[in-house]
Amino acid sequence: MNTLQRLHAEQGQSPWIDFIDRDLIASGRLAALVGEGIRGLTSNPTIFAKAVATGQYDELIRSGITAGHDSRQIFEAIEVADVGDAADVLRGVYDASDGTDGFVSIEVEPDLADDTAATLERARQLWRRLSRPNLLVKIPATPAGLPAIEAAIAEGISVNVTLMFSVEVYRAVARAYIAGLRRRLATGGEIDRVASVASFFVSRVDTKVDKALDAIGTDAALALRGRAAIANAKLAYAAYGEIFGGDEFADLRAAGARVQRCLWASTSTKNPTYRDVLYAEELIGPDTVDTLPSETITAFLDHGVVARTLDAGLEDADAALRAIERQGISMQQATDELIAEGVASFGRSFDELLAAIDAQRQALAPA
């Protein structure tokens, strides 16, 4: 087995990829990656924007022009086609894992992040349109997103909760999932096929905290660089164990409910002085997902070390975060800023995507 396959077979972690485009599917590369151990996929507007510029979607854009569709409608056709086809490629993984893996995510548009009702309605639309059991609808962990997540789960819509940075928010997300399952069970709905992951953005935490530590510049501050993100994720996983391994979830587990797995997103190493598989190696543990960009997959296949690390050194993780706080850096403030920045960044990416589609529309429009 290669290292990706060993992650799942030996450690119970599912490696996913964090990119999608038409060529990935049509060329057979996605199927090949599945054969190498990839067990799921997520998508985002930035990836689609880059793909649109390559001309991969010119045929769909021409069809949209003929139908009189605007750029937003054309994008929906693009993402539904790609996500649907990717889900079909991964359906074998879903079936073989009895619905545990093989998922593909599709995102509710970021401009709905502060509107609970609109987010829920959009999740319903995407769920109905794709109509595949191995779909996850991405909903951000904003204050407006939490009730939408609970309601979606109650309706049997599987959810990828995205843009998470803090352990406190994670606890709220986990309890929204549990509340949604309870609502569904109370109305006689089946809960054994409802799935959810809680996506932590890892490297962005270090990027922000390291910048603050660099500004302080003391030896003590500089010694803490590169420690915040991993410590934060380890404490989140400890919270996962408390919530889903204890009485709070016991009756739902007995009724067939699945745990909401922690997903580690943004696990490429942004700082070139850090090991290129730092986050992939330090966050290995059972019942988790790691979404990996292509360069990290290549590096991990080449020299990644497979060993259970996620629940090791919890005291050190807590001590690292307390030491960062003693430097005058508020982790709560940092993570609050990160989710606001994340929503804004996703919004800009979506605007850029629509602009790219619009430019392609104009280039392809009949003279």
User: In residues, how long is the chain?
Assistant: 367
In angstroms, the CA 30 to CA 35 distance is 9
DSSP annotation of 187 reads: T
Residue 244 burial (10 A CB sphere; 0-12, 13-18, 19+): buried
Is 357 strand, coil or helix? helix
* Distance from the Cα of residue 286 to its chain's centroid: 17
DSSP annotation of 35 reads: H
Nearest to 163 by CA among 125, 121, 122, 108: 108
Identified catalytic residue from 138, 208, 211, 234: 138
234 belongs to the catalytic site:
no
Question: Please, are residues 50 and 18 in contact by the beta-carbon 8 Å criterion?
Answer: no
Concatenating the DSSP letter of every residue in 228-286 gives HHHHHHHHHHHHHHHHHSSHHHHHHHHTTPPP-EEEEE--S--STTS-TTHHHHHT--T
User: Residue 176 to residues 152, 154, 162, 173, 183: CA-CA distances in angstroms?
Assistant: 10, 10, 13, 5, 11
Question: Please, are residues 160 and 197 in contact by the beta-carbon 8 Å criterion?
Answer: yes
Question: Please, are residues 300 and 290 in contact by the beta-carbon 8 Å criterion?
Answer: no
Q: Which residues are catalytic?
A: 138
